[in-house]
Amino acid sequence: MTFDVDKIRNDFPVLFQSSRGKPLIYLDNAATTQRPKSVIKAVSSFYENDNANIHRSVYELGERATIKYEDARVKVQKFINAEKSASIIFTKGTTESINLVAYAYGRTFLKPGDEILYSEMEHHSNIVPWQQVAETTGCQLKYIPITDDGTLVEDWRNYFSEKTKFVAITHQSNVLGSINPVKDIITYAHDKGAKILIDAAQSVPHMSVDVQNLGCDFLVFSGHKMLAPTGVGVLYGKTDILNAMPPFLFGGDMISQVGLQSSKWNDLPHKFEAGTPNIAQVIGLGAAIDYINELGIDSIHQYEHELTQYALSKFEELDTIKVFGTRENRGAILSFHSEFVHPHDMAQFLDADGIAVRAGHHCAQPLMERLRVPATTRASLYFYNTREEIDILVNSIKNILKIFSVESQPK
């Protein structure tokens, strides 16, 4: 099947509008993606036809809502090839998923002297919760540095020790696009007796991820970065580990029996889903997975890979612009920097051409320090972006460099 981008774009109504008088070019997909009609329809159809609370209604409407919600769980399970649907916990996003593991696993099982290992390219959401765990439990924080070209150091194994008990690492950097060798890291972590969490917020939307093949203990991602509504995320965990963990939030739905003095916890996955969840949003995630499956995640990955390679080549025309990261083993994210135009000014001028990009530290301040820049401009692509859009982006940057009169200055 050829990848018919023009046809695909028709599924995304939001793309057909002008911004600042120019056709909108949306290149902030690492922050959040757009939603296809089928996802929007799944959400509105739920409210129009099926809305009721789940898991505790005998009436037909409630039954239907429950079935749709649990169907979405099975879709997620199959999408990442988890063994059991009980492994799939719905949260409100990647951040909550990591916090859940940090609280319920980290604070329960980590002890003074244990080491938590993460990397220098983590998003704040995969740093700050672990800092809190360290503060509470007395365990130590270690990190794997990155190289000047934005990849994990080759000797990352040397940063493990006998004390390493937990590893938290991103599959793909939200700033550099670098893809980490997570399968090797997972195998090594297990050899060392450590548990490992993979932050897959930037990988699951763009490439095939198989948790059984990877063997990770936990894997987390967000719905809204893969066409689904905001307010829904996923925690995948191995059931034996999830069973051993205490609940994170307490209340309705997560209990099997409540007395006035004590209560018993419900089975997985409900033990970790206290309160009424974001039902329509979860169903929206199910519709997003249907949409992705129809295109084929491997076709999406291939298309994005070619588009990224094209963009990297086009950026080579820009003498004074430095693009971070390597050419290989990278996803569809281009973070770039100019010595002459501050990222904020760059993003503001691109906005004037209808181009939506992100400028800032991208919730990765330690990484900005490592790259020795205060901020970067980031263009992040998804499968509905086109080569024409890349051409317009690069031309616009050329004009901006002219305005800031740096066209002929040496690199």
Q: Considering the complex, state which of residue 74 and residue 403 has its C-beta at the smaller distance from another protein.
A: 403
Q: Pick from 188, 265, 310, 340: which binds another protein (CB under 8 A)?
A: 340
Enclosing H/E stretch for 358: strand 358-360
Question: For 4-30, b where at least 16 C-beta lie within 10 A, e where not — what string?
Answer: ebeebbebbeebeeeeeeeeebbbbbb
* 398 is a contact residue toward another protein (CB under 8 A): no
Candidate ranges 43-51, 115-123, 305-313, 399-407; the one touching another protein (CB under 8 A): 399-407
Dump the DSSP string for 123-161.
-GGGTHHHHHHHHHH--EEEEE-B-TTSSB-TTGGGG--
Candidate ranges 103-111, 217-225, 228-236, 337-345; the one touching another protein (CB under 8 A): 337-345
> What is the contact mask toward another protein in residues 4 to 23, using x (rule: CB under 8 A)?
----------------xx--
Q: Considering the complex, state which of residue 352 and residue 356 has its C-beta at the smaller distance from another protein.
A: 352
Give residue 274's identity as a one-letter amino acid code.
A
Straight-line distance from the first to the last Cα atom of the chain, in angstroms, rounded to the nearest whole number? 42
Q: Considering the complex, state which of residue 41 and residue 361 has its C-beta at the smaller distance from another protein.
A: 361
Structure tokens at 198: 């993979």
* 131 is a contact residue toward another protein (CB under 8 A): no
Can you tell me whether residue 167 is helix, strand or coil? strand
Candidate ranges 127-135, 182-190, 340-348, 381-389; the one touching another protein (CB under 8 A): 340-348
- Going by DSSP bridges, is the β-strand pair 263-265/321-323 parallel, antiparallel, or unpaired? unpaired
- Residue ranges of alpha helices (H) inside 138-266 are 182-191, 211-214, 239-244
Structure tokens at 164: 């390493």
Beta bridge partners of 170: 199
Q: Considering the complex, state which of residue 141 and residue 406 has its C-beta at the smaller distance from another protein.
A: 406
Output the smallest distance, CB 399 to another protein, in A: 7
* 342 is a contact residue toward another protein (CB under 8 A): yes
Catalytic: 363?
A: yes
* 31 is a contact residue toward another protein (CB under 8 A): no
Q: Considering the complex, state which of residue 153 and residue 373 has its C-beta at the smaller distance from another protein.
A: 373
Output the smallest distance, CB 310 to another protein, in A: 24
What is the side-by-side strand order in the sheet with 333-338? 321-323, 333-338, 376-380, 358-360
Long-range CB contacts (within 8 A, 24+) of 396-399: 396/349, 396/350, 396/353, 396/355, 397/318, 397/321, 397/346, 397/350, 398/317, 398/318, 399/349
* 28 is a contact residue toward another protein (CB under 8 A): no
* 409 is a contact residue toward another protein (CB under 8 A): no
Q: Considering the complex, state which of residue 70 and residue 345 has its C-beta at the smaller distance from another protein.
A: 345
* 368 is a contact residue toward another protein (CB under 8 A): yes
Output the smallest distance, CB 8 to another protein, in A: 29
Return the ∠ at Cα 223 (arms to 221 and 229), rounded to 5°: 160
Output the smallest distance, CB 130 to another protein, in A: 20
Rg of the chain (C-alpha set): 22
* 128 is a contact residue toward another protein (CB under 8 A): no
Query: What are the residues whose beta carbons fall under 8 Å from the beta carbon of 296, sequence distance 6 or more?
Result: 1
Q: Considering the complex, state which of residue 21 and residue 259 has its C-beta at the smaller distance from another protein.
A: 21
Q: Considering the complex, state which of residue 20 and residue 327 has its C-beta at the smaller distance from another protein.
A: 20
Output the smallest distance, CB 406 to another protein, in A: 9
* 62 is a contact residue toward another protein (CB under 8 A): no
* 395 is a contact residue toward another protein (CB under 8 A): no
As a whole number of angstroms, the distance between CA 358 and CA 350 comes to 10
24, 363, 373, 406: which is the annotated catalytic residue? 363
Is the distance from CB of 34 to CB of 224 less than 8 angstroms? no
Output the smallest distance, CB 87 to another protein, in A: 37
Candidate ranges 273-281, 288-296, 309-317, 334-342; the one touching another protein (CB under 8 A): 334-342
Site size for another protein (CB under 8 A)? 25
- Residue ranges of alpha helices (H) inside 268-341 are 279-295, 297-315
Neighbours of 189 (CB within 10 A): 24
Residues in 343-362 at the binding interface with another protein, rule: CB under 8 A = 343-345, 348-349, 352-353, 359-361
What is the contact surface with another protein in residues (CB under 8 A)?
20-21, 340-345, 348-349, 352-353, 359-361, 365, 368, 374-375, 396, 399-400, 403-405
Active site residue ranges? 363
